[in-house]
Copies of this chain bind each other. A is one copy, B any other.
Amino acid sequence: MNSNERRPTIEAVAARAGVGRGTVSRVINGSPKVSARAREAVEAAIQELGYVPNRAARSLVTSRTDAIALVIPEPESRLLAEPYFADIIRGVSAELSANAGAVDLQLLLILVRTEEERKRLTNFLTARRVDGVLLAAVHDRDPLPDLMEKLDMPTVLGGRRSDRERLSHVQPDNAGGAEAATTHLLERGRRHIATITGPREMEASRSRLRGYQRALAAYGTAVDDASPLVAEADFTEEGGRAAMAELLARQPGLDAVFAASDVMAAGALAALRAAGRRVPEDVAVVGFDDSMIARHTTPPLSSVRQPIEEMGREMVRLLLDEIEERGRSHRRVVLATELVARESS
C-alpha cells in the first residue's frame, strides 16, 4: 500500500485469475459476455490484490474523463455566500453519488474571478477535461454559455439568460414566487407596495419584477418598470439599504416592500429602522431566498423559499441525461417556490 510499491495492473489481475486481460476488463465494465466461473475468479483476484483501475489509462482510450465541472462565476459566489452556494453543491454532490454506478463521476469545482481564470477555463473546456458542465448563476452577458454551445459540450445552466434560452437549465419559479409574495402583501391589506429588484441584466431579477407586477395587475394596479415604486439594487445589503432609502424619499406613503433577495431585505430593514418606520406595523417586508439570515433579522423576515438543493440535484439529472444520450433536445425545469410567512409582514 506504500506509494513506492507499484499498484497492481489489470495484467496482474488477469494472471492471478488465470484469464486474459480482455476478460478482466469485461468483468470490470460489467459486460454480460463473461462466464460465471471467469467472473468469480476475476473478482476474487481483484479482491486479493486490492486492484483499482487506473483512470488515466481508461480515460486515454475512452476519451471520457468521468468528471464534471461546477463552474461558479465569482461575482456570484460572493453574493451567494449565503447557503445558496453550499446548498447547490450539496445537491449536486448528493445526486452525483446517488447515480454512481460502475464509474462514479467526480465533481470539479471551478470559481472564475479574473480574466486570466476565464481564459484558463476556456482552455480547460476546449481540452475536454470534463464530460459535462454545470454553470451556476448565469448572467445575460456571460460568454460561457455560448462557448459551451460552440464546443457542443453537455451543459446545464442554473438560471437562464432569457426565456429563449437554448441550453438546458433549471431554475426556481421566480415570477411565481414574487407573485405569491406580492399577493400575500395585498391580502394583508397593503396597497402601496414597492419592490427592490436585483440587477436588471439578470433574468432572475426581471422574472421577479414580472411576478410582482403580475400580482399588482391582478388587483388592478399597473406598475411599469420605471415606476417610482421600483428601485434597482445589486443583491447586496448596502444596495438594499440605499434602494429602500430612495423608495422612502420617492414614496413616503408606501406600506410594504418586496425585496428580490433576503440580503437586500436586510438592508431595507436597516433603512426603515433608520427612518423610524416600524416593521411590520408601518411597512411590511418580504424577501426572497429564505436564507439563514431571514430567521435572524429583527423582526424575522417573511421570504420566498426556493428549493436550492433540489435545483442542484435536478441540474445533475439533466446533465447526466445529456451526457448519456447526446444530441437530445435540451430541457428546462422550473421548480416551485414557497412563501414562508414570518413576522415582517
Contact = CB atoms under 8 A, between A and B. Distances in A.
Nearest to A65: B56
B89 A109 contact: yes
Nearest to A66: B129
A111 B127 contact: no
B53 A56 contact: no
A110 B108 contact: no
Given A1-B126, A3-B151, A50-B126, A111 B89 contact: yes
Interface residues of A, number: 58
A52 B126 contact: yes
B104 A120 contact: yes
A87 B86 CA distance: 11
A123 interface: yes
A57 B65 CA distance: 12
Number of chain copies forming the complex: 2
A331 interface: no
A300 to B, nearest CB: 10
Interface in A167-216: none
A203 to B, nearest CB: 23
A278 interface: no
A94 B112 CA distance: 9
Contacts of A77: 86, 90
A128 interface: yes
B109 A109 contact: yes
Nearest to A123: B52
A83 interface: yes
Contacts of A150: 1
